[in-house]
Structure 1
């Protein structure tokens, strides 16, 4: 279970202290509970699962549903490159994407809520968390959508550098936008803008 707790913590962009605070327990007990085998504290397990936005069963045994894309391919699929305008149109105004950033030994990928602001992507996070990179850090960002029924989908990839948003007027406008509230909860006061050097995308069309 410890691996599932750690993976989910990273996915949500939470520190161990933040998870423990959400679960109303100490960090030391969080680690003890995550490493237990068989003889669990039911109340503590429930609080931990709620803190990670999971069920107790998912926390103990993993998620049962398969990831998207397990169905068969369409009869006559076609892969097409998206224009820059089509890429921004696919991203829309907000959503959830994947942020790629440098790690100690390998790149790290974490999900983030994002807003499209002009020709840039903006996200908010907690100082000291994994996505809270320094200004000037090289980043990549990917978002995609899959339509299982039509067996089609698209993906958009941006690469560029991070910039901290500090202007009070800009911060106020961003905070009032639809989709600005992070799914992981908390204040998330640090806003980071990805200034793209490149944007590319592909779409699978069915004929």
Structure 2
């Protein structure tokens, strides 16, 4: 058993996290489903996979059970196949996200990049964003900036906005791209609603009174899956 082994022989957390991800995908389990079956919160599962076996061996016992493996098989990389076959081959692939899945990954707020057509060349700027789901014609991206900021496009300007999360260690991740038109939120009632309902604190701080809305014309996304 690994519990009595020299800690130096324990698997690297990155290797173990990749092994868990590959086995989970083989079983058709989402990360949330695995966490539920292992009796832990999804955030704790993510922390556990990053911390490794020493942090909570009992947690890995529950993970192994949820993956239909023994504790030793999980740590040693065995998946119950006949001797000599080893672990089944897996191949990362880009899979298309539906529009609903794109908005689900964007969540309610986060950090993204807005791409603007500037001179002499296009510019890409990180911004703290929020999703305004209460607009009459569908969800949109909003963020705050100064009127004279390079991240403040002119009203009616064509813009793109991207958010991604990629973990090379486990060959997982996703990317969402929106293209559309920028608007300035001039209605003080709407601006007040955005300020009160969305905690969007720009990194630069200060008084940034301009709310920019990106009205998406096209939403697309890809995720890294395993075939």
Q: Who is 1:156 aligned against? A: 176
8 Å Cα contact 1:76/1:206 also seen in 2: yes
Under a length normalisation based on structure 2, what TM-score does the superposition of the two structures give? 0.56
RMSD, matched Cα: 1.6
The structure showing larger relative contact order (alpha-carbon pairs under 8 Å, at least 6 residues apart) is: 1
- The alpha-carbon deviation at position 106 of structure 1 amounts to 1.5
Matches within 5 A, 1:28-177: 75-118=90-133, 119-177=139-197
Change (3 A) 1:136 1:178: closer
The question of 1:185 aligning with 2:205 is answered: yes
Query: CA–CA distance in 2 between the matches of 1:149 and 1:180?
Result: 30
Please give the secondary structure, in 2, of the residue aligned with 1:106: coil
- The alpha-carbon deviation at position 75 of structure 1 amounts to 4.2
Q: Point out the structure with the larger helix share.
A: 2
- The alpha-carbon deviation at position 150 of structure 1 amounts to 2.3
- The alpha-carbon deviation at position 181 of structure 1 amounts to 1.5
Please give the secondary structure, in 1, of the residue aligned with 2:197: coil
Under a length normalisation based on structure 1, what TM-score does the superposition of the two structures give? 0.61
8 Å Cα contact 1:95/1:179 also seen in 2: no
Query: CA–CA distance in 2 between the matches of 1:142 and 1:103?
Result: 17
**Alignment coverage as a number of residue pairs:** 134
Q: Who is 2:222 aligned against? A: 202
- The alpha-carbon deviation at position 206 of structure 1 amounts to 3.0
Q: Who is 2:48 aligned against? A: none
For each residue in 1:39-98, what CA deviation from the matched residue of structure 2 results, as whole angstroms up to 9, or x when unmatched?
xxxxxxxxxxxxxxxxxxxxxxxxxxxxxxxxxxx9421211100100100100000101
After TM superposition, where is structure 1 displaced by more than 4 Å over at least 4 residues in a row?
A: none
Query: CA–CA distance in 2 between the matches of 1:202 and 1:179?
Result: 28
Larger Rg: 2
Please give the secondary structure, in 2, of the residue aligned with 1:85: helix
Please give the secondary structure, in 2, of the residue aligned with 1:176: helix
